[in-house]
Amino acid sequence: MNIAIILGTRPEIIKMSPIIRELVNCGDNYFVIHTGQHYSHNMDRVFFEQLKIPNAKYNLEIGSGSHGEQTSKMLVGIEKVLLNEKPDAVLVQGDTNTVLAGALAASKLRIKTGHVEAGLRCYDRQMPEEINRVLTDHCSDYLFAPTEKAKALLLTEGISREMIYLTGNTVVDAVYQNLELARDNADILNKLNLKPKEYFLLTTHRQENVDNASNFCSILKGLNELASVYKLPICYPIHPRSRKMMAEFKLNSGNIRLMDPLDYFDFLQLEDKAKLIFTDSGGVQEESCVLNVPCITLRDNTERPETLEVGANILAGAISSKILECANVMLRKTNGWHNPFGDGHAGEKIIAILKGA
Ligand code: UD1
Ligand code: UDP
C-alpha cells in the first residue's frame, strides 16, 4: 500500500509527525506532498528538522494568496502529483486550505481519502476553517474522529457509521513523544529570563481576530491590563499574519513581549511552564489541556468543546474586560482534569486502520 500524506502548514506538520513516524517505523510505502502554504523557516523547515521528518517528495511552493487563489493552485498541483503517483490512499489533517484542496483533489480521483481530526465544528461560517472542515469531512472515506463527541457529531450529519473511526488526536502523540526532549533540550525560560509559572503565554493569529483592527486592539488592551494587574510578563511568539496586521493597523503591543515564532521544543516548554495560556489556536487549546495548563480562548466559540467540559478552557472572545475576568476565574480553579484527546497512540491506530481496510 502506498499512502500520500498532504500537508502545508505548521500545525499539520506537527500533527502529522506521529503518523509519518509510524509509517517510517513500519517500513511502509508513503510520500509527502507539501503545498508550501507555510514557507518561512520558522513556520515550516524548523519542524521537519526538529521532529526528524524526512523531506517532502514534492513541494508545490504555492505560498500565500487569497482563499480562492491559494486553494485553486493547490488543487491543480496536488491533482497532477496524484495522477502521476496513483497512491492507494491519501491522508489530510485538520482544517486549513491545504486540507480542503488535498481532500477534494483525492476524492474526485476516487482515491481513498482519510481525514485526521474529523468531526470538529464551531458552527461559525465566518471562520474559513469551519467551511474547510465540513467540506473535507463530507468528501472523505475515512473519518478519524479524535473524541466520542466528534464521532457523534458526524453521525448526526448523516455520515455512515462504518466510515468513522475513534482514534484520539495525534496532538497527544506529538506532545508525549516530544515533551521529554523539549525538557532536556530547550532552555527557552532561561533565555527569556522567565520563571516557571510566573509568566503568561499568548498566541493569536485567527483571521477574524487579527485582520479586524478593533478585535486585535481589544485583545492587546485586555492582555496589557492583565500584565499590570498581575505584574507578570506576557510572551507572544507572533504569527507572521499577526505581525503583518499589527504593522498595517499601527497597533502598539504595549508591555507584551513580542518574539518570532518558536520551534516546537521551545514552544512546548513555554506552554508547559506558563501560568495561563491565552490563544485562538486550535492546537494550543488542545496542548494546554493535555499539559494541564489553564487556557483562555480568545474566541466566542470553539470546535474543541471537550476542553470547556473538563474545565481546562474558558471563552473570553476578543473582549478586553472579559480577558481579565476569565483569567481570574481560571486562576481560582484547581487543575488536574482528564485529557479528553486520547492515549497518545492515534498515529498507530490510524495507520493500522488504513492498512487493514
Ligand atoms: C493558516 C490556516 C489556519 C491555521 C494557520 C496555522 C487557512 C485558511 N488558514 O492561517 O487555519 O490556523 O495557518 O498557523 O488555511 N505568512 C508568512 N510566512 C509563512 C506563512 C504565512 O509570512 O510561512 C504570512 C503571509 O503574509 C500570509 C499570512 O501569513 O499572507 C497568512 O498566511 P495563510 O497561510 O494564508 O494563513 P494563516 O493565517 O497562516
Ligand atoms: N507552535 C509552535 N511555535 C509557536 C507557536 C505554536 O511550535 O511559536 C505550535 C504549537 O505547539 C501547536 C501548533 O504550533 O502544535 C499550533 O499551530 P497554530 O496555532 O499555528 O495553528 P492552529 O492549531 O490554530 O491551526
Cell of 102: 488535498
Return d(Cα 288, Cα 272) in angstroms, integer: 8
Query: What's the pLDDT at 335?
Result: 85
Cell of 63: 505560498
Return d(Cα 31, Cα 2) in angstroms, integer: 8
Question: For residue 328, what pLDDT band results from cuts at 50, 70 and 90?
Answer: very high
Ligand 2 lined by 266 (C-beta under 6 Å): no
Query: What's the pLDDT at 185?
Result: 79
Residue 114, SS3? strand
Query: What's the pLDDT at 334?
Result: 84
pLDDT tens string 74-120: 999 999 999 999 999 999 999 999 999 999 999 999 999 999 999 99
CB-based contact 22:347 (threshold 8 Å): yes
DSSP line for 192-241: TT--TTSSEEEE---HHHHTSHHHHHHHHHHHHHHHHHHT--EEEE--HH
Cell of 171: 496532538
Query: What's the pLDDT at 183?
Result: 87
- Greater confidence (37 vs 185) lies with 37
Catalytic site residue from 34, 38, 115, 205: 205
Helical spans, DSSP H, in the chain: 10-26, 45-50, 67-85, 97-108, 128-139, 148-156, 170-185, 188-191, 207-210, 213-230, 240-248, 264-272, 282-291, 305-309, 320-332, 346-356
Q: Is 239 noted as a catalytic residue in this protein? A: no
Give the binding-site residues of ligand 1, using a 6 Å CB cut-off: 9-11, 37-40, 43-44, 64, 95-97, 128-129, 205, 239-241, 244
Q: What percent of the chain has pLDDT over 70?
A: 99
Residues 342-355 have a mean pLDDT of 97
In this structure, what is the dihedral angle of CA atoms 131, 104, 5, 165, given to the nearest 10 degrees?
70
Ligand 2 lined by 236 (C-beta under 6 Å): no
Q: Is pLDDT at 351 greater than 90 in this prediction?
A: yes
Atom 14, ligand 1: which residue's CA is nearest? Answer: 10
Query: What's the pLDDT at 184?
Result: 86
Question: For residue 164, what pLDDT band results from cuts at 50, 70 and 90?
Answer: very high
Residues 180-196 have a mean pLDDT of 91
Q: Is pLDDT at 186 greater than 80 in this prediction?
A: no
The DSSP bridge pattern shows strands 313-315 and 276-279 to be unpaired
Residues 10-27 have a mean pLDDT of 98
Return d(Cα 202, Cα 57) in angstroms, integer: 34
For ligand 1, mutation pick of 61, 98, 241, 263 (most atoms within 8 Å of CB): 241
> Average pLDDT of the chain?
97
pLDDT tens string 276-323: 999 999 999 999 999 999 999 999 999 999 999 999 999 999 999 999
Going by C-alpha positions, the residue among 350, 355, 291, 294 that lies closest to residue 169 is 350
